[in-house]
Amino acid sequence: AGNDFLFQMQAMTNIEVMNGYGVQKIVTTCPHCFNTLKNEYPSLGGNYQVIHHTQFLKSLLGQKRIDVSGGTFKGKKITYHDPCYLGRANGIYEAPRELLEKLEAEIIEMKRCKKDALCCGAGGAQMFKESEKGSQEINHARAEQAKETGAELVAAACPFCSTMLSDGAVAARAKATVKDLAQLIAEAADL
C-alpha cells in the first residue's frame, strides 16, 4: 500500500524464515503474492520457484494426477476474469483457460479480456478503502461485462477478484455464480 520501507523489512523477515526452512517452491492462490514473491523477493535474497495455483493445477492435470473430463461443468457456459497481476503483470493467460477447457465447458470471453481486461476493483489496496467519486463502481462494471456474456459461471483465479465480482454480481442482478478455478476443478474431480 505504499510503505516501501515496511515492505522491505517484512520481506526480509519472511525470506530469512523461508530460507531457514529450505523453501524452494511456493504455490500461491493470490496473483498479488505471486507477483511479489516472483518479481520482488529475488532482489532481497528470496529466490524461489513461484507458481500460481492455475499453473500448478494444469501440471497436475497434465501428469494425470487428477482427472476432470466429463465432469459436472460439461457444456456449461463459463466466462473467465483475468486478474491484473496474473495477466497483465505476468503474462499468464493460457493456463487458466486450459483448465476451463479440461472441464469441457463452453468458454465465453468477455469483450475486455486478457491484456485488455478490466480490473475487478480491488487492486492497489482499493478493496480496503472507501470508493472514490465516479459514476459506477469498477466491480459493478466488470460484473455487467460478465453478465453480457450470458455465462452461468464466472471463473476467477484470485481471492480478491472472487469477492469483488461476487459483490458486483449482486449489484448487477446477475444470475451467474462466481467461483475460483480451483473450486471448479475440485468439484469436477470430486476431490
pLDDT at residue 191 in the model? 66
Report pLDDT digits (tens) over 144-176: 999 999 999 999 999 999 999 999 988 888 888
Can you tell me the distance from the alpha carbon of 158 to that of 92, in angstroms, rounded to the nearest whole number? 13
Give the contacts of 149 (CB within 8 A, at least 6 positions apart): 77, 79, 108, 109, 110
* Between 66 and 131, the higher pLDDT residue: 66
Q: What is the secondary structure of 106-136 as a DSSP string?
A: EE---SS-GGGPPP-S-TTTGGGSPPPSSSS
Can you tell me the distance from the alpha carbon of 29 to that of 56, in angstroms, rounded to the nearest whole number? 10
Stated pTM of the model: 0.91
